[in-house]
Amino acid sequence: MKNSFMPNTTIARHGITRKCDFTDFSSDVEWKDESEDRVHFVSANVLAKMGKGISKKTSFKKIDISKIPDLKDYIFTSELDQLGQHKGEDNHIAVVHIDGNGMGDRFLEQENLENWR
């Protein structure tokens, strides 16, 4: 199996092209961002991810959480400034990952920063 390794040979850009607004790849298409009311030049990879995000956002909008008493004051948002922070206060966002393979335990076993890295 080691002999069958195929390295990633994606060419970042080709010829004289416009750079994608989000990656180092060539832009393939124009994408209209409705929330910013502007056009982005994006690669096919970014377009696919944007499409998936939009479809998930649409499916969340179909959920009517106003009928659930404890959740009636909440909304689904993709905007960081609408996550419930209070102006003038120290606000933080946490990203939580589930450690299904126990890799976190291996990090905790390390005695110093050099080993941890």
Mean pLDDT over all residues of the chain? 78
Instruction: Report pLDDT digits (tens) over 60-90.
Output: 667 777 777 777 777 667 677 777 778 888 8
30-to-10, 34, 39, 81, 114 alpha-carbon distances in Å: 21, 13, 6, 26, 45
Assess whether pLDDT exceeds 80 at residue 14. Answer: no
Reported as a pLDDT band with limits 50, 70 and 90, residue 2 is low
- Please tell me which residue, 83 or 19, carries the higher pLDDT value: 19
Instruction: Report pLDDT digits (tens) over 84-107.
Output: 778 888 888 887 888 888 888 888
Answer for the pair 93, 83: CB distance below 8 angstroms, yes or no. yes
Please name the residues in contact with 28: beta carbons below 8 A apart, sequence gap of 6 or more.
20, 42, 43, 44, 47
Please name the residues in contact with 101: beta carbons below 8 A apart, sequence gap of 6 or more.
none
pTM of the model: 0.43
Domain spans of the chain, in order of start: 15-116
Percent of the chain beyond pLDDT 70? 81
Answer for the pair 26, 20: CB distance below 8 angstroms, yes or no. yes
Nearest Cα neighbor of 19 from 36, 43, 38 is: 43
